[in-house]
Amino acid sequence: MYKLAAITGSLRKESINKTVMEEFKRLSADRVEMSVLDIGSLPLFNADLEEGGDPEAAAVFKETIRTADGVLIVTPEYSHGVPGVLKNALDWAGSMTNENVLAQLPAAVTGASPSALGTSLAQVQVKQTLTACGSFVLPQPELFIGAAHKRIGDGKITDEKTIELMREFLASFYTWLNRLTD
Ligand code: FNR
């Protein structure tokens, strides 16, 4: 079993990206033990807060990533960029002033949005940040779940093609994890 730290870049209760993460959890249950991380309780990153030890929420968050084989990120796109809550979480995890738990960690990034481009611009930014932190980011396949309002409803993925693409994405991530973990 792989241990994955799962981060969703939306705090919304009815988030379509949370639905995608839940589907990944279901599809990977036979091979993955997934810990879905709480990024909403992280304080705004401030290196001063690291002095004398991380705040509790950040310590728990970082420990889960530290002990994982990889990280899976499913994110929305806000104003053609990465949502602030997700960037804040990555700033805690990849801290240059304390331990960087993203270094040399396999990572995969995807996301869903109603637009045709399906979070492609946000994903580029997230991958850039992960790369700066030294993560090994799955380069292919890219998975942009566009027109998500037609594919996701009532907390479920309603489109078989999307589920198939998610399976392929997971299969490539398993290969990536297999190559990069002991
Ligand atoms: C959006 N949305 C959006 N979508 C997109 O594809 N590109 C974008 O640049 C933006 N920008 C944007 C900004 C802000 C402030 C909001 C609130 C929304 C729409 C967004 O994809 C949609 O609301 C999703 O449903 C958000 O994801 P969750 O919360 O459902 O996972």
Domain boundaries, the chain: 2-180
Residue whose CA is at the smallest distance from ligand 1 atom 13: 78
Could you report the predicted ipTM of this complex, rounded to two decimals? Answer: 0.98
Indicate the pTM of the whole model.
0.97
Tell me the C-alpha distance between 81 and 152, whole Å. Answer: 22
Residue whose CA is at the smallest distance from ligand 1 atom 22: 113
Average pLDDT across the chain, whole number: 97
Contact 100, 134 (CB under 8 A): yes
What confidence tens digit (pLDDT) does each residue in 16-66 have? 999 999 999 999 999 999 999 999 999 999 999 999 999 999 999 999 999
Tell me the C-alpha distance between 22 and 4, whole Å. Answer: 13
Residue whose CA is at the smallest distance from ligand 1 atom 20: 113
**What is the helix (H) or strand (E) element at residue 179, kind and residue range?**
helix 160-180
What confidence tens digit (pLDDT) does each residue in 67-91 have? 999 999 999 999 999 999 999 999 9
Residue whose CA is at the smallest distance from ligand 1 atom 12: 78
CATH 3.40.50.360 fits domain 2-180: yes
Q: Phi and psi dihedrals of 34, rounded to 5?
A: -105, 125
Q: Which of 77, 87, 123 for mutating ligand 1's site (highest number of atoms within 8 Å of CB)?
A: 77
Distance 97 CA to ligand 1 centre (A): 31
Contact 21, 8 (CB under 8 A): yes
* Per-residue confidence (pLDDT) for residue 182, from 0 to 100: 75
Q: How many Å separate Cα 58 from the centre of its chain? A: 16
